[in-house]
Amino acid sequence: MRKPDTIERLYLDFDGFFASVEQQAKPALRGRPVGVVPFDSTTHTCVIACSKEAKRKGVKNIMPVQEAKRVCPDLVLVPQSPDLYRRAHNALLSEISSVIPIDAIKSIDELTCRLEGNDHQHPFELSARIKERLAHNIGPHITCSIGFAANRQLAKIACKIKKPDGVTVWHPQDMPRPLLDLPFDDIPGVGKRMEKRLCRAGIPDMRALMKTQPKQMRNLWGNVTGERLWYALHGYDVQALPGERRMFGHGRVLPPGYRTLEHAHTCSRLLLIKAARRLRRSGFYAGRLWLWLSMRKSGWHGNNSLPIVRDDQACLSGLEELWEQARAQLPARSSVIRLGVTLLDLSPATSRQLDLFLNDDDDRKKWEILTDATDRLNAKYGKTAVSLGPWTPPPGGYAGGKISYTRIPKAEDFW
């Protein structure tokens, strides 16, 4: 495995992305502590994201609204605008790629680049060019922090060091000194459970972790991830393994006043249709469907098999079967706070395996033709002009198009 002798990676992380996009788009919010929330006019939710002004006053992401208001009484609560964040993401990427090619988009607010030419000799100048272009062409209220290192993992850690709006450069000859005093939660891949496991193994801090061996790390993690992390922390050029698509799904927190079983059923239909659209756009069929419901002190989930399908009719038929089970097992007045649907057991459209005991291929083809025609009409008009059954999004909208950190929404997700 190759060990670079110079910095080769840039990692960029936007500061308080959702809140800063709101501030850039809405001048009245600039300079004020802002908290982005799922819904308007409710205190029984949490702050999804907060601005740097709010963070300086002690507000944190995923903090209950009531606690955030106690910490920061002048906190301005703003309901989420997922499509705005999607458009901002695309605009920002366009500006960055005009300065340096983007190697990988890691989330809606994080990306990584490989350094080219003489960029590794002038990281601060490169950072200045990126920041100046974003400020001039997008706006000065969306800032970013940038880290440089020999590999992506180290660059990701480095970019968190001087947030917000900072630049950190870790040259190979300086390592591992900058890592030694960091807490475990600054290291991607070391969560609370793993931290406890490391402590039980006699590894209480980063200094001790850096003295371990690759195979010891593999044993502690129980798989090759630990060994890969060891090589990354020691400056080797560790390449990420390509991800494999395993499911398509959507979840939704229901607003107060919309938490009945009937409303949850209506919302689940919309979420499933949105998931099925993504399934078709990506060229897959599904063989299993999950439905899960979360109440305050309990929950319900169920799943059933599907006959290797991709059309709305088959997916919705499977959903109705699960709802029959849910209604039979749950009290009629159950209050559903959150729900989700997931299409699993995926197979590529080019290798569909039919069920030998279910002779419904002719009907399936008819429903697929109808579903494809529906997709084309919706794409033509840029909205859900045609749907199988009623199309009534819950209050607040964004069924299937909510804030997403790891998946970058498409314009179609907001139809």
Kindly tell me if the per-residue pLDDT of 399 is higher than 80. Answer: no
pLDDT in tens, 268-282: 999 999 999 999 999
Comparing 184 with 363, which gets the higher pLDDT? 184
CA 208 to chain centre: 32
Please give the domain boundaries of the chain with CATH numbers for all domains.
1-175 (3.30.70.270), 176-243 (1.10.150.20), 248-414 (3.30.1490.100)
Q: Assess contact for 145 and 163: CB atoms under 8 A.
A: yes
Locate 97 and state its tokens. Answer: 């790629």
Q: Assess contact for 265 and 392: CB atoms under 8 A.
A: no
pTM: 0.82
When mean pLDDT is compared across 115-124, 148-157, 250-259, 399-408, the lowest value belongs to 399-408
Q: Active-site residues: which are they?
A: 110
Q: To which H or E segment does residue 132 belong?
A: helix 123-137
Report helix, strand or coil for 281. Answer: helix
pLDDT in tens, 246-270: 899 999 888 888 899 999 999 999 9
Rounded CA-CA distance 303/341 in Å is 10
Predicted confidence band at 353 (pLDDT cuts at 50, 70, 90)?
low
398-401 contacts, C-beta under 8 A, 24 or more apart: 398/80, 398/82, 399/250, 399/252, 399/267, 399/270, 399/271, 399/274, 400/250, 400/252, 400/270, 400/271, 400/273, 400/274, 400/275, 401/82, 401/83, 401/274
Q: Assess contact for 112 and 156: CB atoms under 8 A.
A: yes
pLDDT in tens, 155-168: 999 999 999 999 99
Rounded CA-CA distance 274/158 in Å is 37
Locate 119 and state its tokens. Answer: 């960029």
Q: Assess contact for 69 and 35: CB atoms under 8 A.
A: no
Those residues with Cβ within 8 angstroms of residue 125's Cβ, 6 or more apart along the chain or in another chain: none
What mean pLDDT is reported for the chain? 90
Q: Assess contact for 248 and 286: CB atoms under 8 A.
A: yes
Q: Which of 387, 410, 373, 406 minimizes the C-alpha distance to 270? A: 387
pLDDT in tens, 11-66: 999 999 999 999 999 999 999 999 999 877 667 788 989 999 999 999 998 899 99
% the chain with pLDDT above 90 = 72
The full length of the chain comes to: 415
N-term to C-term CA, the chain: 46
In our burial notation (b when 16+ CB lie closer than 10 A, e otherwise), range 338-364 reads ebbbbbbbbeeeeeeeeeeeeeeeeeb
Q: Kindly report whether the peptide bond that precedes residue 176 is cis, defined as omega within 30 degrees of 0.
A: yes
Q: Which of 144, 170, 161 minimizes the C-alpha distance to 8? A: 170
